[in-house]
Amino acid sequence: MSTALHRLKALLRPEQLLVRPEQLAAYESDGLTAFRQRPLAVAVPETGDEVIALVRLCHELKLPFVARGSGTSLSGGSLPVAGGVVITLNRLNRILRLDPAQRIAVVQPGVINTAVTVAAAPHGLHYAPDPSSQSICTIGGNVAFNSGGAHCLKYGMTSNHVLGIKAVLATGEVVEWGGVSRENVGPDWCGLFTGNEGLFGIALEITLQLLPKAECFHTVLAGYCTLEQAGDAVSAVIASGLLPGAIEIMDALALEAAVAAVHAEYPTGAAAVLIVELEGPREVVAVDRVRLDEIIAASQPLESRPARDAEERLAIWKGRKSAFSAVGRLSPDFIVQDGVVPRRRLGEALRRIGEMSQEVGIRVANVFHAGDGNLHPLILFNGRVAGDLERAEQLAGRILRMCVEMGGSLTGEHGIGVEKNNFLPDMFSAAEIDCLNRLRDAFDPLGIANPGKMFPRAEAPVLTQHGLHPLEKAGLISRE
């Protein structure tokens, strides 16, 4: 390891290589704080050439590396590896080009999500993907996990907005895929790279599609007696043929937290609230809002009210966007899951989560992208109480398996990381997993890019069982 540190020091200025314990502490975990590992070092490159040199050195030395943005991953996707290097990309934070005529932005991986929209706003444009952490998460991280957000129902995920990528692969090879247009011939390499969870390499420059800002919004807030009623209302809206910009649901626990944190004004006594937002040309929204209001009225809400102006609309979304952090007021710790179920089974899934929560005696706050069935159950526990984390993980595992059994997915946008890697066989066959492994090996034959993530280890118990996680057994991570 002394050789590796010596070689790393030769590439960077002293202040760009963090090696002291107090410096490394902030990088030991990401948003999944139940697991942590201290890396050998943290490299802080400031240019794309420095990133390329670091990756090539790691390939030469067979040294594991993990790329990291703001560390907001909720699946352990940027968890360090023992004896490996964290390459943090926050200083690669420039918007290299913004072309309003072509409606594109070329950005470095450390650019904050909302910074793209702020830069594009004077031109009447915006960047559509809007994860809840958009004020701090980076575009590089969004690409790694194919992030979505509240408006993904209408606009799609990150992969739908990435036109081009310049990246350094784990072998040290620099590639450029795509461009400034969707009219490309051949394999969709950008689509393949987006969502790879850092297993292929590191994006250096990303070309993003920008969209015109909507001319008009109509945002409706409706409260319901039960979560199942709210879920059924979502199905009714989608079945009508309407395509809202966003459809979100929050349950009573999430509402309690949001009200306490940001003083959001939601219907009192509701077990769940539904947020539906129409957007587009003024004439189209004027027609669609009549149909939406009829559907909401037919779903028999306790209360329904539209936002009267932009200020009320922003207040509604502020409560929703703050829900994850606000739940920290209700519990010292929580696990955030992001399984997906078919929309037609949304009400059933919510009912079953409630039943499982009561059965095991663990509170669950539900906040989710209802339009595409992407559940975000927040499972509350106290990590200082012996066995509490394990019980919470068991419940999380049951919810994930329910999603797969219903014909859904293990993840909608948070990724597999270390949290769900041993659930992969519940969703994919051995042959399919082998195919995914071979694809990863084609980009990273040494297995040094973010090792231990996504793929299961057959000899180890799953995360939700008592005992050691596979990466703990291998000495790669540890629990608090």
Task: From the options 3.30.43.10, 3.40.50.200, 1.10.300.10, 3.30.70.2190, give the CATH code of 2-88.
Answer: 3.30.43.10
Predicted local confidence at residue 326, as pLDDT: 77
Exposure on the CB side of residue 329, measured as CA atoms within 13 A? 15
Instruction: Count CA atoms closer than 13 A to 191's CA, side-chain side.
Output: 7
Please tell me the distance from the alpha carbon of residue 277 to that of residue 289, in angstroms, as a whole number: 9
Tokens 């027609």 correspond to: 287
Asked if 276 contacts 371 with a C-beta cutoff of 8 angstroms, the reply is no
- Kindly tell me the burial class for residue 46, based on how many C-beta atoms sit within 10 Å of its own C-beta (0-12, 13-18, 19 or more): middle
Dump pLDDT digits (tens) for 313-332. 988 888 887 777 778 788 88
Q: Which amino acid is at 436?
A: L
Report pLDDT for 462: 35
The tally of CA atoms less than 13 A away on the side-chain side of residue 50 is 18
Interatomic CA distance for residues 113 and 359, integer angstroms: 39
Helix, strand, or coil (residue 150): coil
Distance of CA 115 to the CA centre of its chain: 18
> Contact, 378 vs 335, CB < 8 A?
yes
What are the start and end residues of each CATH 3.30.70.2190 domain in the chain?
216-326
Other beta carbons within 10 angstroms of residue 283's beta carbon come to: 10
CATH says 216-326 is which class? alpha beta
Residue positions counted in the chain: 480
pLDDT score of 457:
58
In the chain, CATH 3.30.70.2740 sits at: 331-479
Q: CA-to-CA distance for 402 and 11, rounded, in angstroms?
A: 49
Of 205, 211, 219, 246, the C-alpha closest to 121 is 211
From residue 181, give the alpha-carbon distance in Å to each of 95, 185, 192, 435: 18, 11, 17, 30
Q: Which fold has domain 95-212?
A: 3.30.465
CA 347, 351, 354, 360 dihedral sign is negative
Q: Where in the chain is the domain with CATH 3.30.43.10?
A: 2-88
User: Is the separation of the CB atoms in 366 and 378 below 8 Å?
Assistant: yes
In this structure, what are the phi and psi dihedrals at residue 147, rounded to the nearest 5 degrees?
-65, 155
> Using one digit for the tens of pLDDT, what is the confidence trace for 59-83?
999 999 999 999 999 899 999 999 9
What parts of the chain have a pLDDT lower than 50?
A: 458-480
> For position 258, what pLDDT does the model report?
82
Q: Are 95 and 105 in contact (CB under 8 A)?
A: yes
Q: 331-479 belongs to which CATH class? A: alpha beta
Residue intervals of the chain classified under CATH 3.30.465.10 are 95-212
* Token pair belonging to 336: 């955030």
For 19, the token pair is: 């090696």
124-to-92, 117, 265, 412 alpha-carbon distances in Å: 26, 10, 30, 30
